[in-house]
Amino acid sequence: MTRPAGPTPRQHGIRALHTDTTLTVYQAYTPSLGLPAARDGRFPPAWKRDRMTWIKPSFLWMMYRCGWGLKEGQETVLAVEITREGFDWALANAELSHYERGVPPDRASWQRTLRRAPARVQWDPERDLHLNRLPYRSLQLGLSGEAARRYADEWTVSVRDVTPLARRIHELVREGADEEAARLLPGETPYTAAGRVPRLR
């Protein structure tokens, strides 16, 4: 089993758990950083605001990346609720992380834009419950400079430790209880950004 049945997703559509004002993204950290963030509902001073950080609206893509929270250094999985306004700002000011012919017109233009951009968009194959590739892609959004600082200190509404959820879903998958596992997945639905979204051709 993959995702719950429904319309075929768009090839490069954003799917996320969202409300009228917020959107949830996922990250995984060491317990020494993740647990204080979840406890306080914000990122601690130890969170490096001068480094690029990648946020993922797809829970299952995060599970693929962190191995259900079992990979070293990624044992604490966080659900970070941020403002839609901040997320849309990052998208509108982002550039594709890899050059795509014709988007923008040439490689030199892309490189100039990338150097100035505070955010980077990457489209990676979405994953199913068994972390196999699906025939459509999910968004990763890399934040640096102004975007990373605003993410940590302005856009963040709440931070939750969802490691127990990740471990429970993984346990059910290993037991072959895919339908029960699927019912526990966050309710991700198509998200329409307010402005520009860099996409692959």
pLDDT of the residue at 195 = 77
Q: Is the pLDDT of residue 3 over 70?
A: no
**pTM listed for this prediction:** 0.88
Three-class secondary structure of residue 42 per DSSP: coil
Residue 112 has pLDDT above 60, yes or no: yes
- Cα 77-32-42 angle, rounded to 5 deg: 65
> What is the distance between the alpha carbons of residues 104 and 198, in angstroms, rounded to a whole number?
10
Taking the C-alpha atoms of residue 82 and residue 77, their distance in angstroms, rounded to an integer, is 16
Beta bridge partners of 142: 54, 120
Residue 139 clears pLDDT 80, i.e. is over it: yes
Contact 140, 124 (CB under 8 A): yes
Measured CA distances, 134 to 15, 33, 38, 57, 119 (Å): 14, 32, 31, 16, 25
Query: Which residues share a beta bridge with 156?
Result: 82
113 against 168, higher pLDDT: 168
3-state secondary structure of 144: coil
**Residues 24, 38: Cα–Cα separation, whole Å:** 14
Direct distance between the N- and C-terminal alpha carbons of the chain, in angstroms, rounded to an integer:
29
